Amino acid sequence: MLAAQSTIKNRTDGAATTCQTYARSLNEGGPKIGQVRERAINILNEVIPFRRVASSHTCSVSPCPSCLEPHLPSIIDALEQARPITFVLPAFPGKSPNKAKVLGVLPDMAERRSLEFLAQLCERIQKFHAPGARIILCSDGRVFSDVVGIREDDVSAYQQELSQIIDELALTSISTFNLEDVFAQGDFVQMREALMSQFGVSLEELKEKIRKGGDSSAALNEQEATQMYRGITRFLFEDSVYEGQLKSRTALQKESRNKAYEVIRRSNAWSELIAARFPGAIRLSIHPQICSSKKLGIRLISNESWMTPWHGVAVETDEGYILMKRAEAEALGAQLIYSSQGRPSHYKLSGHLSLVAERSSR
């Protein structure tokens, strides 16, 4: 998480060099086609430095042409039609139920900084494309809240507060999209059943894909499924380890692995719905992605590499905000800061990021 700050400049420089080289190679299609493609790559170059890439891949620092190509057609189409470039991001489900990781059930400074960061990405894109860009946050909390242990009322309160923050900060490039926007009738259980009926796949089919994805020669979608399964299992296990729970770590790990299958099954159904609802949009993901993926892994705060606002807290340092688990911030002696409404907002910790990283690793 904290190592990202020291590598961000190298990532930016490497991405720029690779993108520029690729842009020159594409100019061979003719002046007009080449100019549009070069603009598209310049736009992608604004996002690439903040992507999340599977660490096992050689493209983790500098993108190769295969990293860029899946996302260019959507950008080029928006350029040619003079309309905003649309990104969709399934994220912001609701706060983790583990109080050792978060401050409460409502969005706080962690979400605020993340929303501002995403809006700034849209502003960077506008330098190359006047209509700009928009990011649609497709909140997936309602999709699997019953599996991960988030109360329905907490999901509702989180979504409402998130929308209020977007309005308060006047983030016109950011909008939200929820399960209720699709299935207006019935209770939440019936909405989930309708989602899975229309877009879901069988558990057996998913398990087989994940099993195959552990092989380096597996198909791209199988490798992505395995990567996602490992990440979701980790999140679920961390959320289940809290003071007062009585199950063994072995039992919790088994339970997390079983739950991960259902979370992914529903997440995939949600992704299919999003693809049908927003054709042509660029698909962002909070999970690291491998080369050639149709999804673009994205950080949610520029200084982090593998943490989300709903699994952690914002910590203000001398060099900006970072994300970490609540227990880690408190162990470092960070000061809790309250919002103007009197709610816990974030932590403040004196020192530069490198010093914070050193202290947190002890």
Share of the chain above pLDDT 70, in %: 85
At residue 171, the pLDDT reads 98
Q: Is 66 helix (H, G, I), strand (E, B) or coil?
A: helix
> Nearest-CA neighbor of 330 among 162, 109, 99, 147?
99
Q: Give every residue of the chain whose pLDDT is below 50, as ranges.
A: 1-29
Q: Are 269 and 200 in contact (CB under 8 A)?
A: yes
Quote the pTM value.
0.85
- Give CA–CA dist 120/114, Å, rounded: 10
Q: Are 308 and 93 in contact (CB under 8 A)?
A: no
**Continuous H helices in the chain:** 4-26, 31-47, 65-68, 72-81, 109-126, 141-148, 152-168, 188-199, 203-212, 220-240, 249-277, 326-331, 353-360
Tens-place pLDDT, residues 94-151: 999 999 999 999 999 999 999 999 999 999 999 999 999 999 999 999 999 999 999 9
Tens-place pLDDT, residues 27-65: 444 556 689 999 999 999 999 889 888 766 666 667 788
At residue 16, the pLDDT reads 47
At residue 132, the pLDDT reads 96
> Nearest-CA neighbor of 79 among 132, 118, 123?
132
At residue 238, the pLDDT reads 87
Amino acid at 242: Y
